[in-house]
């Protein structure tokens, strides 16, 4: 990437893009080839519900995924939860401190603090799924609701999502995180970065959630490549990092029980 400002990645506030029409997600056999999801976020997004989990019996990972598909389809509600994304870190140990799966649900209520209580207390909440034996395969490591504090996107043609890098931390300011996100976007390995502040969660949720989105075919390598490409490391004054991990996209859903628009 050259020094000419006109050739550098331009950044602006994320306003969201229209979802594509429904297509079936391709079955991924080669771990280096990932589903590619057309730009997914609604401009009404005010926060996210964020969940880290493990599968209690890895030999039944397909059953875990099938149950989660049913659950995510059931909790999506227009005006409350717009969509659901699930990611996997195949290199994770599958422990509480190194979970394998991450789920992110876009909240679109004017007050993001109201979204999850409204979901759990709704008569449509899928309590019946917890009587399904497959539910015992899901072991939550962290659950929380977060309010968005800022988002940026790179002004380029990479409008697909193959994976994310998730940073959980405490301390520091939003401005410090914004500066870090801008530097990472300028490397070209990520096309969007969002920052969120805790509303509520358990157990002992990190105060800050940062989500960096990539469209690389190998999303698990994006963050390491971005760090190597940085001319200098941005300051991290008073930021106490809890974890920094990459995840590949494995499933995405929107209202009506449809998968979001994937392309191979």
- Answer yes or no: are the C-beta atoms of 43 and 72 closer than 8 Å: no
Q: Which fold has domain 33-256?
A: Alpha-Beta Plaits (3.30.70)
User: What's the pLDDT at 264?
Assistant: 42
- Domain limits of the chain? 33-256
Confidence at residue 259, expressed as pLDDT on a 0 to 100 scale:
57
* CB 249, CB 162: distance < 8 Å: yes
**What pLDDT is recorded for position 39?**
55
The set of long-range contacts for 121-124, using a CB threshold of 8 Å and a minimum separation of 24, is 122/77, 124/74, 124/77
Q: Which DSSP string corresponds to 59-106?
A: GGHHHHHHHHHHHHHHH-BTTTEEEEEEEE-TT---SSSS-SEEEEEE
Q: What is the DSSP letter of 113?
A: G
As a whole number of angstroms, the distance between CA 249 and CA 264 comes to 13
Q: Is 179 helix (H, G, I), strand (E, B) or coil?
A: helix
Q: What is the pLDDT of residue 258?
A: 57
Tell me the C-alpha distance between 173 and 60, whole Å.
41
Instruction: Quote the pLDDT of residue 239.
Output: 95
178 DSSP assignment: H
The predicted structure's pLDDT at residue 16: 33
pTM across the whole model: 0.84
Each residue's pLDDT expressed in tens, for the chain with a length of 264 residues: 444 443 343 343 433 332 222 333 333 344 444 455 565 688 899 999 999 999 999 999 999 999 999 999 999 999 999 999 999 999 999 999 999 999 999 999 999 999 999 999 999 999 999 999 999 999 999 999 999 999 999 876 656 899 999 999 999 999 999 999 999 999 999 999 999 999 999 999 999 999 999 999 999 999 999 999 997 887 788 999 999 999 999 999 987 655 554 444
| Separation of alpha carbons 100 and 235, rounded Å | 29
Question: What pLDDT, on the 0 to 100 scale, is given for residue 6?
Answer: 35
């Amino acid at each position: 990437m050259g020094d000419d400002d006109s050739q550098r990645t331009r950044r602006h506030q994320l306003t969201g893009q229209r979802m594509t029409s429904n297509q079936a997600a391709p079955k991924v056999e080669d771990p280096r080839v990932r589903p590619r999801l057309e730009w997914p976020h609604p401009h009404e997004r005010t926060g996210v519900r964020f969940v880290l989990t493990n599968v209690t019996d890895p030999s039944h990972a397909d059953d875990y995924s099938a149950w989660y598909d049913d659950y995510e389809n059931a909790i999506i509600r227009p005006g409350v939860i717009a969509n659901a994304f699930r990611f996997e870190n195949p290199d994770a140990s599958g422990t509480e401190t190194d979970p394998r799966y991450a789920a992110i649900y876009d909240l679109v209520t004017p007050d993001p603090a109201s979204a999850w209580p409204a979901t759990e207390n709704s008569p449509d909440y899928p309590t019946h799924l917890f009587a399904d034996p497959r539910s015992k395969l899901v072991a939550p490591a962290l659950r929380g609701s977060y309010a968005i504090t800022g988002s940026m996107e790179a002004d380029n043609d990479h409008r697909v999502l193959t994976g994310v890098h998730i940073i959980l931390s405490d301390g520091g300011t939003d401005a410090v995180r914004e500066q870090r996100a801008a530097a990472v976007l300028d490397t070209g390995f990520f096309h969007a970065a969002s920052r969120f502040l805790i509303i509520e969660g358990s157990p002992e949720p990190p105060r800050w959630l940062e989500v960096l989105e990539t469209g690389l075919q190998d999303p698990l390598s994006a963050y390491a490549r971005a760090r190597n490409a940085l001319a200098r490391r941005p300051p991290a004054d008073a930021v106490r990092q809890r974890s920094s991990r990459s995840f590949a996209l494995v499933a995405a859903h929107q209202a009506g029980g449809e998968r979001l628009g994937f392309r191979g």
